[in-house]
Chains A and B, each alone.
Chain A
Amino acid sequence: MISLGSCDILHSWGKFIFTGFGLGLLIGVTLVMAGVYRGMVDDGRILLDNSGAELWVVQNGTLGPYAEPSSVYDDEYRTTMSMPGVDRAANITYLTMQVAKGKNDVRVMVVGIAPGTLGITPGWPPFLAAGRQVTRNHYEAVADIASGFKLGDQIKIRRNHYTVVGLSRRMVSSNGDPMIFIPLKDAQEAQFLKDNDAIWQGRRRDGAGDEAIGTTPSSNHYVNAILVRVVPGYSQDQVADSIRRWQRLTVYTRAQMEDILVGKMIAASAKQIGMFLVILAIVSAAIVAFIIYTLTMDKIREIAVLKLIGTRNRVIAAMIMQQALALGVIGFVVGKITATFAAPAFPKYVLLIPIDSLSGFVAVMLICVLASLVAIRMALKVDPAEAIGG
């Protein structure tokens, strides 16, 4: 038996390619959307992985340091260090800001890292693509490659200039902003210092003279969090418990932190993306249903003739469904190609994973099957007697 569906597709291939292409662009957008979500989750996980921490100690009662502001006195880490089961504890600050790069600004997350050693002090970028880690106490920076800075570039953060001595890779905030690592002391200063312009404006408004300078704090004694590594063999939950009890600080384990980042911060975006996916699915279904319905309408007489000469209903239904599925396959292929080529062009990290493609494909096929049902219903109602004149 020849496939009536494929023969009809070959005969009117222009319509199929054209519609399939339009459908494909929609599917491409859908895949990219799913990729944006996966990228956000992945960014969050990598942020946690690369921090090198097992516990996050933050201001009591906050969801810090990524989801909410958190301030912890910078001496607390010494107490934390002395807790049983704590292997390493290091202060860290995070500050999201715009920094000038050439004529443009880039949005970055400035990370203040405690002095120490790579692989031992939590918070340091674990791998560098080029250059070296920050070794001096002041005015050196490791920038993520995604920020666009190069080795030797000068970055102005607040009042000070930092020389880029190293480049990291895939070190981004949960928003996807590239990180810039600078010494902790500098970062603490930057976080609480107004920049020159603000100081100048402040002075002018106070109407005060030079004595106002004295009131401007030049340093502060707070950090956003303490990153903790646990001695192997100790339970993370137990260590977290004792820190909570003794220091009256909130402590999150890796699993809890991931829940905050992925479950709370990204959840709203996920819902938004989910809504878009639903709309796109409906639009795709409408397009497929409409085109298959139209193609079937154009064939009513042929269908009556086919039935009259003894074609079974299931052969006719299969013909229509084949066309809907073909449309879905063309659309999916076009969409997959579009998404693959378009993904790198998006400002945010777009992570296309096979399981999303697979479920996308299954969804497209399901939508096509459902969309063809209207046309199939109509075709099955065609009376073979219509082929014989009235």
Chain B
Amino acid sequence: MGGKGIKIEGMKKRYGEGDTAAYALKDVDMDVAPGEVVGLIGPSGSGKSTLLKCLGAVIDPTEGRMMLGDEVIFDNGWKVKDLCALRRDKIGFVFQAPYLIPFLNVLDNVALLPMLAGLHNDEAREKAMELLTALDVQHRADAMPSRLSGGEQQRVAIARGLVNRPPVILADEPTAPLDSKRAMAVVRILNEMALKLQTAIIVVTHDEKIIPTFKRIYHIRDGVTHEEVGEGRSYK
């Protein structure tokens, strides 16, 4: 279960060395509690992708601290050793496109993560089925991803992001390809899941349709974050 969410203090990220050095992130502070869904918005080139990669532990921040629950992940150049295992166990990813593995059926696409974490196939599939049921796609468990509609695929992708019960979910433009009805459905699912599984969810988005649904929004401009209160409109 979620623990204490995700917390970032004074994060900086520099690309390049010497003359070509440039800071993509200059001062990032974030604090997302378990069960909370926050938006991360900003113009192109402001550093959203860079921040997402740091949060996702695929690139290392140059400075600053990041904590997942009680665990320190980055601390001014220090980092936990096994980032691969960290991503597997502590961070869920949901992408703009579902990016399901085409040669695994729906159930195994979701069960793969607990399997990678060392669970037996049966247990992993049981866990996956629970999530598929929660997201109402359990009837497609045996289908190959290519047979699913776009909306179903996205729900399977969310199930995959959640299946290891990570304390944090990073969603990268999860509603971009969807119409407004389906986009709202995804937002509703994310909010329900955040509450149910006590997960902190950060949604990077441009999507005007869903921005008003966030209660809290982080604006990023030129590598600096500003916290704002959102409209928190109903997504029902």
Contact = CB atoms under 8 A, between A and B. Distances in A.
A183 B125 CA distance: 82
Contact of B88 (A2, A301, A309, A389): A309
Interface of A: 1-2, 4, 7-8, 10-12, 301-302, 305-312, 315, 383-385, 387-390
B121 A1 contact: yes
Dominant secondary structure at the A interface: helix
A385 B87 contact: no
A49 to B, nearest CB: 56
Nearest to B160: A309
Contact of B101 (A306, A307, A310, A390): A306
Contacts of A11: 102-103, 144
A310 B88 contact: yes
Nearest to A302: B101
B168 to A, nearest CB: 14
Contacts of A385: 53, 58-59
Contact of B85 (A7, A301, A310, A315): A310
Given A7-B104, A302-B101, A311-B116, A388 B89 contact: no
Contacts of B87: 308-310, 384
13 contacts: A1-B115, A1-B116, A4-B103, A8-B103, A11-B103, A12-B103, A309-B112, A310-B84, A310-B117, A383-B58, A388-B172, A389-B49, A389-B95
Interface string B221-234: 00000000000000
B175 to A, nearest CB: 14
A336 B121 CA distance: 36
Nearest to B170: A388
B22 to A, nearest CB: 16
A4 B113 CA distance: 12
B109 to A, nearest CB: 10
B111 to A, nearest CB: 8
B23 interface: no
Interface of B: 49, 52-53, 56, 58-59, 84-89, 93, 95-96, 99, 101-104, 108, 111-113, 115-117, 121, 144, 160, 172-173
A7 B108 CA distance: 10
Given A2-B112, A302-B99, 5 more contacts: A1-B116, A11-B103, A306-B101, A308-B58, A310-B87
**In the complex, the 8 A-B pairs of residues with the closest C-beta atoms, listed nearest first:** A310-B88, A11-B103, A8-B103, A310-B87, A385-B58, A305-B99, A7-B103, A384-B58
Contacts of A306: 101
Contacts of B173: 389
A389 B102 contact: no
B83 to A, nearest CB: 9
B121 A390 contact: no
B93 A308 contact: yes
Contacts of A388: 49, 52-53, 56, 58, 93, 95, 172
Contact of A2 (B95, B115, B117): B115
A1 B117 CA distance: 9
Contact of A312 (B52, B84, B89): B84
Nearest to A386: B58
Contact of B113 (A310, A315, A387): A310
B116 A315 contact: yes
A321 B113 CA distance: 21
Nearest to B103: A11
